[in-house]
Structure 1
Amino acid sequence: MKANLKQRLFSPITIAGIVFFLASSLFTADSYLLMLTAAQLIFVPLMLQLLVEIKRKHIIFTWMTMLSVFLLAVVPSSAGQIALAFIYLMFTFLVALYGVKRFFQRGFTNWAEISIDIGLMYLFVGGLWFFAYIAGIDTGFSPLITWLTAIHFHYSAFLYPISLGFFGRLHNSNLYPFIVVSILAGPMLVAIGITFWPLLEFISVLVYIFAIYCLIFLAFRTRFATNLQALFIRLSYVALGITIIFSLLYAANSAFGSWFVSIDFMLMFHGFFNCVVFGMVGVLGWVMAPPPSKQADWNFPVSKIRGKLKGAGEQRPGLVENLSDFVDVKALPYAIVHFYEKTERYQLVASVKWSAWFKPLAWCYKWISTKMQQLNLPISSTPTEMTYTIRAVDSSIDGRKNPRAWVRQVENQTVFVAIYSQHETEGRTYMNIALPLPYSSMIGVLQLDAEDVGSLVLSSEGKGDPGVYLAVGRTIFKLPLSEHFIIKEKRAGVLTAEHNMKIFGVPFLRVDYRIDEKIDSENDKLA
């Protein structure tokens, strides 16, 4: 802990920030303005040092940014101030780009890291409002409100989400995702409410308050690296729990005209607590022992094929060589095993059902999918036969083990081109399916389980590899999609399957399949 404190507090960036802050305080007439200066020169750089591997170029550019913030209190000309504020704006823009890069290296997984990513992106919004304040841009609000919005996005939208992300590296529960979503949505909802609908501001603050108090509750049930760190982090969250009540009163005044809380009071009380107790104490708490990320790199093999399928060769009888590689086939009916290993012997009839809320999007997407000849599902729910072929794919082109393409068509229109393979992680074999897209490939990693009722479940939901991903170049991005496929034996030689898909946990597509064994394959089966 002492080593971390010494390394961060006495780093070239932190020392420069403290010196510039003290110098700025000598030239700042209104002391409340120093609350934002403290965030710009001390708190933001300290938090970034916990996330970024600092190199010489980072130190030099950060010094330039700090110098520009200091000179804003010294340079009298408006043109000079605009130029200096623009330098800080570019700094926040680069921080936001880093947040975007982090996010696209991982995708929609790990709420703790998502919270950090969004916090980094929000800093640019704070930079925009700060630039608007310095440049005197008409935002529709008074200069003071513009400045308050800038400070809001530095503390509530940058420091808080990153602190919440660090906390998520230590704590994991069903309540944590709700807290993250509420906290991340809060700054934008409050800003929209202030601008267009005061009642929305009041409601969003209520949700925000509930999330904060849930976080306080969890913080007192979470083990930290040291007792001192626990004290600092809990104290910073409690400070937010106190100051947010006055934000609620201020929002109530805007919405209903009662419980009057003045701007001056908010600056003195709310601002002081957030700056000193939440900002300074909270940042110091994480500097003592920054928790490492628990996000593991994706190490499973990914198809190299992008765009149109190339390298399809001789025909293959089934989607897999042996279903026993994935699941205990003794727990499954013979017909299910036979379908996966001898798929060509079966007829497939599908009924597509789009959720009502998603149908307008499905109609728009249909034009694109028809052009791509990929993920080209019918809009109508009328049962439709899908014809198909299964062909080997050159492993040297695809890059995975024994790949084979299942090309499905409806009335000579290609519906799916899915390249099946498999991989093993920690003793378990997963189905690894690639759907080539323009300049990319959608990857579905499915976990197979035999249920007690004699049905087979394939799901992208599970710990570790399972999921739906987008592969672009060497980047693997987890999408907010999930799929759940269950196949059952209705009677001898007849299977039914139900394929459900969700986006952000909300169902949007269901495909019901009837799978019949072709009559002319009966003799082959008996043989």
Structure 2
Amino acid sequence: MNVYKTAVLCGLMFFLSAAFHEGPWYYLLLTAAQLVYVPLVLRQVIQEEDWFYKTYKWIAPFGYGSVLLLHMLGPSPAGPILAGIYLLFTVFVASYGATRFLKRGFVRFEEFSIDMGLISLMIGGGWFFAHIAEVDTGFSPIITWLTGIHFHYSSFLLPVFAGFLGRLLKGTVYRAAVSILIVSPVIVAAGIAFSVWLELFSVILYITGIYALIWHSFKADFPRGKWLIRLSFLSLGITILFSLSYASGNAFGEYAVSIDTMLKFHGVLNGGVFALAGVIGWSVSTPASAALPSFTVSKIRGKQHAANLAAEAQIHVGLVDDMKIYGLKTTDTITDFYEHTSGYRLFAAVHWHTWFKPFAFFYRWISSRTEQIHLPLSSAQKEMTGGIYTVREGLDGRPSVRAWHRQIDEKTVFLALYSYHQKDGETYMNIALPLPGCSMIGILELSKSGDSLLLTSRKQNPSSDAGIYLAWKNYLFKLPLDEVFRVEETEKGKLAAIHHMKAAGIPFLTIDYIICKKQESSF
């Protein structure tokens, strides 16, 4: 009912704008996006419990009303002011997209697609303002306007529709297609500005992403409106061919499609089929977003020292009281190491990957001040010393918290706070590394590989909490980092462990550990 009322109001604003419109008919394509498609799509994205919803109800009339007044007043000195109001409204929408992202981080790729759509609307608002205010952008007025409409349809509507699709079905093909769709409009705009060959390349890339998305839409299971949604994506498969023909003409100097033809067919199909069918289809079948992780996070922040976190400097024997809580049967030595960690010596060889070494020098300067993850640049094997302490009850907020303080050459390398949490019958290792004003959180899944123990932040199923996060105030931001530990028994009383870390899927750090009982150590 709320969507129906919004649609009626949007339709009235658009037809009223059309009645006062004095320019070429095709300029109404942007007006349709501003007064119909933007408000209807936002109505599907906004959650009523969000801070944005309460503020949006008061700000939206100014944003949409300014566009309506522009048509009613016609060319006037008030035009740039009204366009500026709409631009500020799009900045407000972009701030909502940024807030959604900061609450979640690099998790739920489909939601990231929606975030990028919300943020990109601001760019469309900027080009719209430039057109109305007659700002010298270096392009003709029609190209300035076309860029504005490009960011309203291709960079706002399409990523949001793609995000809705990802809520129903996702995978490697989906992520690749959406990545292309998010990047391509920016490359297209850069190609229009700087290079006809870049423009042609971006359109070919765009075609790949769109056709992958069309294929994906026929695999998804829609409760309602499936043919409207599929028609919406299919229409893009046609309109993008006009873009290819136009870009080819720019590159080779043989024009088969003119701007006028683009406006008549490409523009009308985008505005009348892709956008309209998509908005209606998704409004009758808007999929809900997945719940965000809700596990308990350490309350401890800032630079810490082990003795400050201990209960009267009470030393504890192990990181885990009983490994049975993880539901795994590991070898006796692995189990004993986690339950009696202080009875073992730890030797580490740190290997920074070649591409990361220039960054490692700068990173070391920071880590020396935070005294956290302060790893040596040398790959020489060195002993890690330190101790394990019981954290004062109630200070951290999680159960059975153990502070593991590790040093190399009497300099702090790590201070990690170990605990656990349970969800859906699975127990996760919940590790916090306090940082200034925040905390890095590692949620690890435990599993067996033969006789080896694997601890990984990579999700093994979509509902898993596994990941590396940054906790700041009430935000829990998932970082694009992955880590995998493999622990195996090499001989009785001795373990070997390897720790791999990746950033955005690229390996940057490997640590090799040798672990042995103190009385048996020959190091």
TM class by smaller structure: over 0.9
Matches within 5 A, 1:43-54: 43-53=37-47
1:170-219, CA deviations, whole angstroms, 9 ceiling, x for partnerless residues? Answer: 22333111111111111122222333343333222222211211111122
Matches within 5 A, 1:7-26: 7-11=2-6, 14-26=7-19
In structure 2, distance between residues paired with 1:106 and 1:395: 29
Matches within 5 A, 1:414-425: 414-425=412-423
CA contact (8 A) 1:446 1:460 kept: yes
Closer, same or farther: CA 378–199 of 1 in aligned 2, 3 Å: farther
| Alignment match, 2:354 | 356
In structure 2, distance between residues paired with 1:200 and 1:402: 57
The match for 1:459 among 443, 451, 456 is 456
2:238 counterpart of 1:245:
no
| Alignment match, 2:222 | 224
Closer, same or farther: CA 272–455 of 1 in aligned 2, 3 Å: same
Q: CA deviation at 1:57?
A: 5.2
Closer, same or farther: CA 404–185 of 1 in aligned 2, 3 Å: same
Q: CA deviation at 1:17?
A: 2.4
The match for 2:26 among 32, 46, 62 is 32
| Alignment match, 1:148 | 146
In structure 1, distance between residues paired with 2:138 and 2:377: 45
1:343-362, CA deviations, whole angstroms, 9 ceiling, x for partnerless residues? Answer: 11222121111222222222
| Alignment match, 1:265 | 261
1:484-527, CA deviations, whole angstroms, 9 ceiling, x for partnerless residues? Answer: 000111222221111011112221111111112222789xxxxx
In structure 1, distance between residues paired with 2:288 and 2:423: 23
CA contact (8 A) 2:493 2:520 kept: no
In structure 2, distance between residues paired with 1:469 and 1:395: 24
| Alignment match, 1:299 | 294
CA contact (8 A) 1:431 1:446 kept: yes
Query: Please, which moves more after superposition, 307-316 or 278-287?
Result: 307-316
2:54 counterpart of 1:61:
no
In structure 2, distance between residues paired with 1:134 and 1:450: 63
| Alignment match, 1:160 | 158
In structure 1, distance between residues paired with 2:271 and 2:338: 61
In structure 2, distance between residues paired with 1:56 and 1:461: 36
CA contact (8 A) 1:327 1:449 kept: no
SS of the aligned residue for 2:398 comes to: coil
TM-score (norm 1): 0.93
In structure 2, distance between residues paired with 1:348 and 1:291: 50
Closer, same or farther: CA 76–26 of 1 in aligned 2, 3 Å: closer
The one-letter code sitting in structure 2 at the alignment partner of 1:348 is L
Closer, same or farther: CA 221–407 of 1 in aligned 2, 3 Å: same
| Alignment match, 1:138 | 136
Q: CA deviation at 1:122?
A: 0.8
Matches within 5 A, 1:82-93: 82-93=80-91
| Alignment match, 1:126 | 124
| Alignment match, 1:450 | 448
The one-letter code sitting in structure 1 at the alignment partner of 2:218 is F
In structure 2, distance between residues paired with 1:138 and 1:501: 48
The match for 2:275 among 271, 276, 279 is 279
| Alignment match, 2:474 | 474
Q: CA deviation at 1:221?
A: 2.4
Closer, same or farther: CA 442–191 of 1 in aligned 2, 3 Å: same
CA contact (8 A) 1:21 1:37 kept: yes
TM-score (norm 2): 0.93
2:187 counterpart of 1:192:
no
Closer, same or farther: CA 343–57 of 1 in aligned 2, 3 Å: closer
In structure 2, distance between residues paired with 1:15 and 1:272: 21
Q: CA deviation at 1:56?
A: 6.9
1:419-455, CA deviations, whole angstroms, 9 ceiling, x for partnerless residues? Answer: 0011111222111000001111010011111222x11
Unaligned runs of 5+ in 2: none
The match for 1:176 among 144, 167, 174 is 174
Q: CA deviation at 1:275?
A: 0.4
In structure 2, distance between residues paired with 1:316 and 1:204: 59
CA contact (8 A) 1:78 1:135 kept: no
The one-letter code sitting in structure 2 at the alignment partner of 1:337 is T
Q: CA deviation at 1:53?
A: 4.2
SS of the aligned residue for 1:72 comes to: helix
In structure 2, distance between residues paired with 1:365 and 1:126: 37
Query: Please, which moves more after superposition, 370-379 or 77-86?
Result: 77-86
In structure 2, distance between residues paired with 1:57 and 1:368: 39
| Alignment match, 1:322 | 322
CA contact (8 A) 1:336 1:489 kept: yes
CA contact (8 A) 2:309 2:403 kept: no
SS of the aligned residue for 1:33 comes to: helix
The one-letter code sitting in structure 2 at the alignment partner of 1:24 is S
SS of the aligned residue for 1:283 comes to: helix
In structure 1, distance between residues paired with 2:20 and 2:198: 39
SS of the aligned residue for 2:207 comes to: helix
Q: CA deviation at 1:78?
A: 5.3
The one-letter code sitting in structure 2 at the alignment partner of 1:225 is P
The one-letter code sitting in structure 1 at the alignment partner of 2:205 is V
Query: Please, which moves more after superposition, 427-436 or 374-383?
Result: 374-383
2:384 counterpart of 1:391:
no
SS of the aligned residue for 1:398 comes to: coil
Q: CA deviation at 1:88?
A: 0.4
The one-letter code sitting in structure 2 at the alignment partner of 1:466 is A
| Alignment match, 1:525 | none
SS of the aligned residue for 2:73 comes to: coil
The one-letter code sitting in structure 2 at the alignment partner of 1:515 is I
1:209-233, CA deviations, whole angstroms, 9 ceiling, x for partnerless residues? Answer: 112111111222222122xx11111
| Alignment match, 1:98 | 96
In structure 1, distance between residues paired with 2:383 and 2:363: 22
In structure 2, distance between residues paired with 1:366 and 1:189: 36
| Alignment match, 1:3 | none
CA contact (8 A) 2:345 2:521 kept: no
In structure 2, distance between residues paired with 1:416 and 1:278: 53
Query: Please, which moves more after superposition, 404-413 or 195-204?
Result: 195-204
In structure 1, distance between residues paired with 2:95 and 2:257: 37
The one-letter code sitting in structure 2 at the alignment partner of 1:50 is Q
In structure 2, distance between residues paired with 1:24 and 1:62: 17
The one-letter code sitting in structure 1 at the alignment partner of 2:352 is W
Segments of 4+ in structure 1 off by > 6 A? Answer: none
Unaligned runs of 5+ in 1: 1-5, 523-527
Closer, same or farther: CA 78–365 of 1 in aligned 2, 3 Å: farther
